[in-house]
A and B are shown apart, each in its own frame.
Chain A
Amino acid sequence: MPYRVERNPDLCKKNFGRPGCCWYLCDDRDEKICGRCFSCLNNCPHGVYELIQGDPYPLNQEKCVGCRICLEMCPNRAIEVNAIPEDARQGWGFQDIVEIVRQSQTASYKLRSTGALRRIPDFDDLVVIPAQVSRPPIDKYREPCGTDVVLGDRFAENPLKIDTPIMIGAMSFGALSKEAKMALAIGSSLAGTVTNTGEGGMLPEERELADKLIAQYASGRFGVSADYLKKGDAIEIKIGQGAKSGMGGHLLGEKVTAEVSRIRNIPEGSDALSPARHMDIVGPEDLSMKISQLREITDWKVPIMVKFASGKVASDVKIAAKGGADIIVVDGMQGGTGAGPEVIMEHSGIPSVASIVEADMALKEIGLRDQVSLVAAGGVRSGADLAKAIALGADAVYIATAALISIGCRVCQMCYTGTCRKGIATQDLSLRHRLDYKEMGKNVANYIKTMTDEACMLVQQAGNTHITKLEKENLRSLTLEASALTGVPMAGVGRI
């Protein structure tokens, strides 16, 4: 992405004429190197900086993705990162050229983290319309707004009962550090919601700290046993994820340390590339048989969820619902990941707003909408996104990238290298020490609670008293694209 990175040498050396001073950020105090800061050089995930005659300079500016970790970690605030306008020559943007050059030199496709980064119609294209006198608004300060939801009460004896419809989505131990998993577990408990193991097995610490925990059952079957499934408060069959639609999980060998290899039972240093599909789920009847199999193992106690990457949403959702799923998750193309090929992230899948509407409609068509819960995922960032997702037809949402940002992630898109400067997506002990999981757990809870509050404001000003009561009629579209994708009428006279 086009960014200009500047390091001000005067600010850098404002103390004692030497660069920075690492005494309060230092992981590894060493008197011999004390006085040589290089925090920007050491912490840039993309190799923007190089050392020239003892000073770090931001030489490789084309590599900058704008994460601003260098700026955040500079003790003297000597760095500025500014976006500059896209330089495109009839579609031949500077980034396209950089990528072609990179491919021609390395003969490899681009792997990265996060998800689709290009402009995709999303929740921002929709607005919630206010109640005035045709219907009255509800008072935020003096009147209550309900936020509790029950998910998966179709067949399960013990459905998921949560205080807010914001759940933390699947991110595995392996992709994330133990500290990050613990922070998310603490945060979900404080906020009265549920978190998810991801596909890398269940950490004992995570089970201990999370009041409610979804055990994911993905195609690699890492860490899966009867015991694992029985410890979950729900089981999520991961058919696919929005970021890497049609592919399995990727955990590259750099992050498969001894502890990760033990919990997944794979060789240390090997790539855990989960199969693109469950080896035993190739068609709809297989999914239905898988749901029955997992129910037999868990004695019909907990909800069975099925998570899809959004593609042929209506068909997939109908199959899962008919196959006996309690909860269905549709993950739009904005969904995130720790590692995957860029071409899949940017060019496969459909936007979250479109998939929610299609899934809701599909459940209505087969008469199971009131029995099956629908969870939306992919690109949810705020209370506004939550409110709009629910209005479009979801019963709850997953947040994942957003939850990581609340504990320090700056979306540098390099999770797969295992060198996360924030101690989140790494197994390196010295980096993991940077993450104070107790404090960060509180951050997660603060963020979820605030999002819920924000959503309530939109719900109440629209004239509703419970977050789940918001409906599609409460929305208007600001763009033709979003209107055509969702069927939400354009603001004004409502023409599409």
Chain B
Amino acid sequence: MCGIAGIVYKDKKLHNIGNDMTNMLHQLQHRGPDSAGYSIYGGTGLKDDEYILKIQVKESDKLLAKVKDVINFQTPIKSDDVLPSVGDSFIYKCKISLDDFSQLKPLITKIDTLDDVIVINGSHDFEMIKDVGSVLDIADRYDVRSVKGTHAIGHTRFSTESGVDRYHAHPFQTYIVRDISVVHNGQITNYWKVRDPLERKGHKFETFNDTECLVHYIADKLDTGYSLEEALEQSVEDMDGPFSYIIGTPQGIGIAKDKLGLRPGVMAETDDVFAIASEEVSLREVVDTHHVEQISPGEVMVYEI
């Protein structure tokens, strides 16, 4: 529920997109005071078999060593870093190699079995940064303004029916297909009817959050041969309730809006940039034009580079 934003630089080159997205989200702060998050694509500079893990670890003597043991048992940690955070935990970030993407989820599940340890995300082509607090605090905490990339999506959260913590902050990602993440404003009111068939296909759900359901749904569609645009169009048919959400993929971003158009979304485009957001005030941070287009009820828009 909340504020959402997405931006793509059309030239495929690296830009200060962390800074852009911070400015966009700051303007949407009033739509969601609880938490905020980013998926920043294209700037990780990893080799094809490399992944980053971000893990929330509680401050305690030997816990981090245990986490490292679990990872090293599977694959050696290539490099790592500890990022301080709020509360009684910190973020452990590390780089690893895997033979195949399908090994990532089992590894994460194994790490998650440790008490007081939660894997926030594991990715190849995007960096996910999310936490509780205000956009500007989070941007400072993780030095987001210096993160470079080609495109990004972001979110400010006003929690509705689930908890306020780092894990429940958006974006949500899926491990069905590599590097798909989503930010969402609204609710899915036929959640269980969407979730149940996905679970029966073997997809694992970590939370009762409808956004997680959405990202699995889209990934499942992409996995079965839908293009991003087709997947989004199908979601408008299958999902009930008020929503507008932005999907990020390594190729670009896409937005879908429910058939009654109950959640906002505006778009602006220049020769350099394609941007979408909940409100014009956010677009104005990155696009210098008065030409703003309303996204219509049931409409889907995709920009891929």
- A residues within 8 A CB of B31? 285, 289
Query: What is the CB-to-nearest-CB distance from A92 to chain B, in angstroms, rounded to a whole number?
Result: 33
Cβ–Cβ contact A284 & B160, under 8 A? yes
Nearest neighbor of B242 in chain A, beta-carbon distance: A282
Cβ-neighbour of A283 out of B30, B33, B34, B242 (below 8 A): B242
Chain B residue nearest to A366 (CB atoms) is: B164
Interface set, chain B 89-116, CB cutoff 8 A to A: none
| Beta-carbon contacts under 8 Å, A296-344 to B | 312, 315, 318-319, 322
A282 engages B160 (CB within 8 Å): no
Chain B contact residues: over half helix, strand or loop, or mixed?
loop
Asked whether, in the complex, the Cβ of A289 is within 8 Å of the Cβ of B30, the reply is yes
Interface residues of B in 149-194 (CB under 8 A from A): 158-161, 185-187
Shortest CB-to-CB span from B224 to chain A, Å, is 31
Interface size class of A (residues with CB under 8 A): 10 to 19
Q: Which of A283, A288, A319 contacts B185 (CB 8 A)?
A: A283
Judge whether B262 and A288 touch: CB under 8 Å. no
Cβ–Cβ < 8 Å partners of B1 in chain A = 283-285
B213: interface (CB < 8 Å): no
- Chain B residues lying within 8 Å of A322, measured Cβ to Cβ, are 33-34, 158
The answer to whether A319 touches B33, judged by C-beta atoms less than 8 angstroms apart, is no
Given contacts A283-B187, A284-B1, A285-B31, contact A319 B263 (CB under 8 A): no
Asked if residues B161 and A283 are in contact (CB atoms below 8 Å), the reply is: no
In the complex, how many residues of chain B place their beta carbon closer than 8 angstroms to a beta carbon of chain A? 18
A282 contacts which of B32, B33, B262 (Cβ < 8 Å)? Answer: B262
Per-position binary interface string of chain B over residues 17-48, scored 1 when its CB falls under 8 Å from any chain A CB and 0 otherwise: 00000000000001111100000000000000
CB proximity to B under 8 Å, residues A193-233: none
B263 near A288 (CB under 8 angstroms)?
Answer: no
Question: With A283-B1, A322-B33 as given contacts, are A315 and B161 in contact (CB-CB < 8 Å)?
Answer: yes
* Contact mask for chain B residues 241-274; partner A; CB cutoff 8 A; 1 contact, 0 none: 0100000000000000000001100000000000
Q: Is B133's beta carbon under 8 Å from chain A? A: no
Hey, what's the 0/1 contact readout for A226-248 against B, CB within 8 Å counting as 1?
00000000000000000000000
CB distance from B4 to the nearest CB of A (A): 11
Instruction: Say if the beta carbon of B236 comes within 8 Å of chain A.
Output: no
CA distance A312 to B161 in the complex (A): 9
Min CB distance, B51 to chain A, in Å? 34
Q: Return chain B residues, CB-CB under 8 Å to A315.
A: 160-161
B2 at the interface (CB under 8 A from A): yes
- Of chain B, the residue at the smallest CB distance from A288 is B158
* B122 surroundings in chain A (CB, below 8 A): none
B residues neighboring A (CB under 8 Å): 1-3, 30-34, 158-161, 185-187, 242, 262-263
A interface residue numbers (CB < 8 A to B): 282-285, 288-289, 312, 315, 318-319, 322
Q: A283-B158, A319-B158 are in contact. List 7 more A-B contacts (CB 8 A).
A: A282-B263, A283-B262, A285-B1, A285-B185, A288-B30, A312-B161, A322-B158
The 10 closest A-B pairs by CB, nearest first: A285-B31, A282-B262, A315-B161, A285-B158, A284-B158, A283-B1, A284-B1, A282-B242, A284-B160, A315-B160
